[in-house]
Structure formats: C-alpha cells, structure tokens
Structure 1
C-alpha cells in the first residue's frame, strides 16, 4: 500500500511537470516544488524504532493492532503515527503490609524486575493512552503486589516468614507472574526486603534467639567437657597399657633369664659325676689338709689339722 502511494505521488508530480511545460515561465518552479513534495512524502514514509522498543502503529488516532520491531520500518505518511513502547527491563518497588496467621503485623518491600510483553505492546498503549510504561506498571502491579503479600503471609506464622523466606518469596513470585502476566507485564525476578514486625514481637524474637544461643553454648561446653574427659580417659588407658606392657616385658625378661639359668644349671649338674666332684674337692683342698685313702673303695678320708 505504501509503495502504491509513492507511485501515485510520483505520477501526480510527473503530471504536474508535464502540465508546467506548457507554461514555460512556471516550469522550473513547479518542478522544484514537486521534488520537495516528493522528498517529504518519502521521508514521512520511513520511521526508525530505537533499540529496546516496539513501534505501535496508530492510524488517525486509532490503534491498528500492528507493530514494528526495532530498526527501520515504514508507515503511511501523514496518516499513520508510530508510538514507541519500551520492552526493556525495569525495576519497580512497592511497600506492602499484611498480617501473619498468628495476627502479627508484617511490613516489607517487594521489588520486581519486569518488561512489557513485546507481543502485546499495542494493548498496553491502548490501555495506557501514552508511552510511559512505569505508570502502566504502577496501575496494575501495586495492587497485585499488595494482595499477593497479604494472601501469602496469611498462611505463615510470623516466625516462619523469617525461617522460610525463600519459600515465601517463591510463592509470591508465582502469584505475581500469573496475575501480572494477564496484564502483559512479564516478571523476571522478585526480591523481598527484610520482614519488619512490631517492637514487642521483635523483642520476643530476640529474647528467644538469645535463649537458643545460651542453650547452644551450654551444649557446646558440655560437649567440650565430654571430649576433654574422653581424652583424659584415653590418655590414662594409654598410660596404663604402656605400664602393663613394660611390666609384661620385664616379667618376660625375668622368665627367659630364669629359664636360661635353670637350663644352664641342669646342664652343669649333668656333668658333675662322682669322679669330677672328687677332683674338684682335691683341687680345692688346703695344704694343711691331708688325705687318707680308705680301702675297699669307700672313698677318701680327710685329716684336718689340729689347732
């Protein structure tokens, strides 16, 4: 259609130029005006959509339902207009207050990173009437976040909102993704600031934490005492075993030495025949002791010196 309009404009200009030839004086003036008109017509046909945006085509004030991607595009000159809607990622924060299942007041701030669904930028513009999408998001996201926080926190004890923070965030993100997605707001991430409670509840939580810490410290101390006692017991057992081992070694040494001595004595006794004993006796007699041989093989008689 745009090409046909351009061709029609060229045809009109060619006709005007041909007509102007009949009027020699006005020929060049008509030609120049025709060229300027053609250039303005051509330039009005093309449009550039900036990066991170979609172009919504509006024809005589009416949203056509057609869009242009970023880059160079075309439109009907002087009839259609292009509205640029950002599809980039933005951040939106909403303070929210609610009550837990145990009726404790809860306050927090929900932050979402979002972008507009590129396939429905025309619907966003039709609903908004202008291109400031932050106003569009605030119009729908603020109440949705408030209701979501109230719905989710009402299912938890105040204490569990802290202990199960990741689970709470996941539930809020799931609900927001569904609710805002119906308004063509695509939620990328959801963040939750620290939950804030009443001063009385906060004081009770701090007291409970302190009590738990005291119990843990007592248990750690008891465990440390038990470990030290076990270490001392192990050391005592080790020392006793060492002493037993030394005693057993000494006893074994005495037994071996005694056995060796007994064996040596038995070996010596086995060699002491009567003849050997008589020889030893004679060898060790003093010079003043005289021998007397007793006939009949009855042995030796000793004659001791008189004093």
Structure 2
C-alpha cells in the first residue's frame, strides 16, 4: 500500500471517530436536557402543586416557585387557590308554590389546607362537584320558607340566609364560599302584575297615613297656639286688674307730646285735637263785658 493510500485511510478513520464523538456528545446533551426537565418543576403564582409519585400523593402541597422532583417518577399537578366567580342558574319554589327562577354568581376559592384533600377525595372541578349542588340545595330550602313576594322584596335577606346555609353544608374548613350574588329574578307575568299592584296600593296607603298624620299635627299645633294665646291674654288681664295704674304708665311712656284727636259732630266727620277744641270753646266760656257808660 502506498503512503498516500495509507494517509487517506487514517483520515477516514479520524473523521468517523470524530463523527461518533459528536453524536455521543449530542446524545449526552439531549439526555441531560431531558433529565433536567423531568427533575425540576415550576409552580405558577396563584396555584399550589400536588406531587404524585407512582400513584402516591404527597400530603404536603408544593408552594409557588421552582423546585426539584424525582425524574420520570413524580408528577406535579397545579391546583388554583385564587378566588373565582362562577355563574349558575337556580330554580326553586316559594312557600305559596310559585316557581322562581334566578341566576346566581358564586364567589369561592380553594384554601391551601384543602388542596391535597380535594385532589385525593374528589374528581373534577370543586365547583361543579361540591359547591354548585349545595348552593342549589340551600337556595331551595330558604325559598321554601318565603312567599314569592318576599323573595322579590327581600332579596338581600334571602341571599344572606342561603350563603350561611351553603357554608354549613360545604364546610368552612374545606372550601371558602365568599359571597352569592342573585341576578334576574323571574316570576310568572300574572304574579309579577299582582305583586306590583299590591306594592302600589301599599304606597298609596302609606301616603294617606302620612296625610292624616300631617293634618293631625297641624290641628294639634293650632290648638296649642290658641291655648297659649288665651293663657297670655288671661295673664295680661289679671296683671292689669291687679295694677290699674299700669295702663296710665303705658300711656305716658308712649305719648308723643301731642293731644289726642277727638271725633265729634252729628255726622261724625269732625276731627280735631284737644287744643283746637279748647280754643274754640274759650270765647263762649268767657264772654266780653259790656262797655261802661260815659259820664255826662
């Protein structure tokens, strides 16, 4: 074999070895990536992780953030602990056997302490399997104790009582039902018309009562005012009878220095002061003496 052929064979063997080495490195990198991805986990904000290893559930949940787990053997399943709002239709019957339909929004959340228990003991979403049936049951029990009119006019009370009953049925240490919001109460058209007519009549009756009460208050006020004025007049009369000189004192205090006017004459249309009347009467009261006779 020539030297050129021998050198070419050696180069071919080197290339083959380099290719195998490159493939081995790529396989190791790929295995490392797979191993790293299966041995770590990330729990997103607002969720908690439940670790399951070969069918065994870890009793302690995984908090938010990054962590390590057994590769290929352990799976981390996220469970949301954020408050959620879910709508649901509700249908119930009142105490007077009237059908009432409504839409209810349920505000709830899964507490951390219940994450593992809910995953172990209940399948599916907790709202569909645990919350919705018990809220429906609570609404029906509360509605059965009220008439259709009371359900419409006392919506807030119905909601409060249904929420308390639903919490007792679900368990406050298990799931947290924050609030219930009732929308779109629907009754039969005939029943709605009857309730509206009754409410109008009650408003008119209240208005009539208010008018009567107002009139009575005004009459009582007038009576009290008249009694007060009568008592004041009586007190003044008693005071004047006990002190007759008080009238003279009042006249002197209010006199303006001029004589009062006197109305006289047969026709009652002569008006003059006392000074004018005295001057007119003076010549008649003091007639002039006749002149003495002269001496002869």
Q: Is structure 2 residue 235 aligned with structure 1 residue 235?
A: no
Q: 43, 51, 69: which is aligned to 1:75?
A: 69
The answer to whether the Cα contact below 8 Å between 2:87 and 2:106 also exists between their aligned partners in 1 is yes
Residue equivalent to 2:289: none
Query: What do the CA deviations read for 1:169-228 (whole angstroms, capped 9, x no partner)?
Result: 233223322444499543122222364322222222222212211121111111111111
User: If you compute each CA radius of gyration, which structure gives the higher value, 1 or 2?
Assistant: 1
The answer to whether the Cα contact below 8 Å between 2:111 and 2:176 also exists between their aligned partners in 1 is yes
Residue equivalent to 1:145: 135
Q: Greater shift after overlay, 39-48 or 75-84?
A: 39-48
Residue equivalent to 1:64: 57
Q: Is structure 2 residue 90 aligned with structure 1 residue 100?
A: no
Give the distance between the partners of 1:115 and 1:39, measured in 2 at CA: 37
Q: 197, 203, 207: which is aligned to 1:207?
A: 197
Give the distance between the partners of 2:137 and 2:181, measured in 1 at CA: 16
Unaligned runs of 5+ in 2: 1-16, 249-296
Shift in CA distance, 248/65, structure 1 to aligned 2, threshold 3 Å: same
The answer to whether the Cα contact below 8 Å between 1:63 and 1:122 also exists between their aligned partners in 2 is no
For residue 237 of structure 1, report the CA deviation from its aligned partner. 1.6
User: Within 5 A, what are the aligned runs for 1:91-170?
Assistant: 91-122=85-116, 124-125=118-119, 127-128=122-123, 133=125, 136-170=126-160
Residue equivalent to 1:193: 183
Give the distance between the partners of 1:223 and 1:144, measured in 2 at CA: 49
Normalised to the residue count of structure 1, the TM-score between the two structures is 0.62
RMSD: 3.3
Q: How many residues align?
A: 229
Shift in CA distance, 223/79, structure 1 to aligned 2, threshold 3 Å: same
Shift in CA distance, 232/63, structure 1 to aligned 2, threshold 3 Å: same
Unaligned runs of 5+ in 1: 1-23, 259-307
Q: Is structure 2 residue 78 aligned with structure 1 residue 84?
A: yes
Give the distance between the partners of 2:227 and 2:199, measured in 1 at CA: 41
Give the distance between the partners of 2:23 and 2:98, measured in 1 at CA: 83
The answer to whether the Cα contact below 8 Å between 2:240 and 2:247 also exists between their aligned partners in 1 is no
